Amino acid sequence: MLKRLLLTLALALSALPARADELRLVEVLSSPERTETLKHLVAGFEAKHPGTHVEITSLAWGSAFEKLATMVAAGDIPDVVEMPDRWLSLYAGNGQLESLEPYLARWPETKGLNDRALTVARSVADTAYMLPYGFYLRALYYNKAVFRQAGIAEPPKTLEELRADATRISQLPGKSGYCLRGGPGGLNGWVMFGASIAGGNAFFHDDGTSALNDPGWVAGTGWLIDLYQQGLAPKDSVNWGFNEVVAGFYTGTCAMVDQDPDALIALKARMKPDDFGVAPWPKGPNGKAYPTLGFAGWSIFKRAAHKDLAWDLVVALNDPVGNLAWNQQTGALPVYTTAAHDPLYAGAIYQGWFAELADPDVVPTLMPTYLPGFAYFADSLVVRSSQQALLGQISPATMNKQWAAYLTKARRKQMSLSPSGSVKP
């Protein structure tokens, strides 16, 4: 009898809603260093909100897309989530995210955000469904120690120099010229090589058809496939994700990698300052470079029971003080106008990125994350088909045709639903 009463009580308690002072936060770009910083920021928030508890769930990036989607589909929805750019259209487009416009309108720190931060925050339906915490601009990391072994004095300034350097380095025993990201998250590399060879970064024509099937883009993705098939990247890099390319770089297995500032945390912990550098992305045949510019931030789910409290948590994570502490672990470029002058960004290692931003022939490329279905495109279709192309199972033309077909369908559907042109071009 007692057991039955206890069971009934337990079931009744489990059916109760979460306490009014409880929030759930999901981190998706996780690392041990990031998670510790997140815990520190959350502890500060809890101290200022006595009785409030924040439950943190940290998902590994390689499986975060599927795990968060499964959680949401099952109704296990967090209050606040770390939102990568490529997922924003999926969740905002499905009406699952809260508009942050009312909060931004009365938040004193909004005026300190740079223009680009507000632009990307409003990349879906011109409404801020996230508060960005930083930008991820790609540049070329090069291993100075391996370059010295190969007798190369400086990083490549053009893609042809990159190929020549990769060829020379790959002649060293146990070394490869390039750290290819053939697994999850590899789309940035494909786009940078594709756009730089094509001489332009437009994803679409005016009629909504994708440009990725144009000859220039096919030549660009084929350029990277050739690099791999000619043995200038490690054979197993066809499956590499973020952790693998970074490890390949700091161990000296491969000497060059396209990455954003996110990689600095691991590299600084494992390499001497004089053993690596960051240079602007090499230019293509038309004298221009097209490094990708990504972003991430914090979003509030519409089903959050305590939205104002959730916003207070977002503020604690992303006000100028919290944002600087967070970006010391993410390495992301700043969203606040004053942060660019902080000592964090004053060192020589950041000059490659600031040189890119100052060069009119370097054109930062934003992914079409505003498209419905872009997350599936980037994290599933591209990974599967690009690995097939790298292994010679399909041609670059076939790969690009698959990509273009998917993007064309998504773009035209979007255009048909928004004939006024309120969606991003």
**Domain residue spans in the chain?**
22-136+294-351, 139-291+363-417
User: Do 139-291+363-417 and 22-136+294-351 fall under one CATH topology?
Assistant: yes
- Residue 95: partners with Cβ closer than 8 Å, 6 or more residues away: 302
Query: Which three-class secondary structure state does DSSP give residue 298?
Result: strand
User: What does the pLDDT read at residue 89?
Assistant: 87
How does pLDDT run along the chain (425 residues), one tens digit per residue?
333 433 333 333 333 344 458 999 999 988 888 899 999 999 999 999 999 999 999 998 878 989 999 999 999 999 999 999 989 988 998 999 999 999 999 999 999 998 889 989 998 889 999 999 999 999 999 999 999 999 999 999 999 999 999 999 999 999 999 999 999 999 999 999 999 999 999 999 999 999 999 999 999 999 999 999 999 999 999 999 999 999 999 999 999 999 999 898 889 899 998 999 999 999 999 999 999 999 999 999 999 999 999 999 999 999 999 999 998 888 888 899 888 788 888 778 888 998 998 899 999 999 998 888 898 999 899 999 999 999 999 999 999 999 999 999 999 998 987 644 444 54
Q: Are 390 and 211 in contact (CB under 8 A)?
A: no
Using CB atoms within 10 A of its CB, is residue 341 exposed (0-12), middle (13-18) or buried (19+)? exposed
The number of beta carbons lying within 10 Å of the beta carbon of residue 254 is 26
Q: Which residues pair with 124 in a beta bridge?
A: 127
Q: Are 297 and 280 in contact (CB under 8 A)?
A: no
Using CB atoms within 10 A of its CB, is residue 287 exposed (0-12), middle (13-18) or buried (19+)? exposed
Look up residue 129 and give its two tokens: 């469904």
Nearest to 322 by CA among 293, 297, 294: 297
Confidence (pTM)? 0.80
CA 203 to chain CA mean position, Å:
18
CA distance 275 to 349: 11
According to DSSP, the β-strands at 22-27 and 80-84 are parallel
Q: Are 394 and 408 in contact (CB under 8 A)?
A: no
DSSP state of 212: G
DSSP 7-23: HHHHHHHHHSPPPTTEE
Question: 22-136+294-351 adopts what CATH topology?
Answer: D-Maltodextrin-Binding Protein; domain 2 (3.40.190)
- Tell me the CB-side half-sphere exposure of residue 252, using CA atoms within 13 A: 14
CATH 3.40.190.10 fits 139-291+363-417, yes or no: yes
Using CB atoms within 10 A of its CB, is residue 412 exposed (0-12), middle (13-18) or buried (19+)? middle
DSSP 100-163: -HHHHHH-GGGGGB-HHHHHHHTTBTTB---EEEEEEE-EEEEEHHHHHHTT--S--SBHHHHH
Using CB atoms within 10 A of its CB, is residue 331 exposed (0-12), middle (13-18) or buried (19+)? buried
- Residue 79: partners with Cβ closer than 8 Å, 6 or more residues away: 23, 24, 25, 300, 301, 304, 305, 306, 309, 310, 313
DSSP state of 261: G
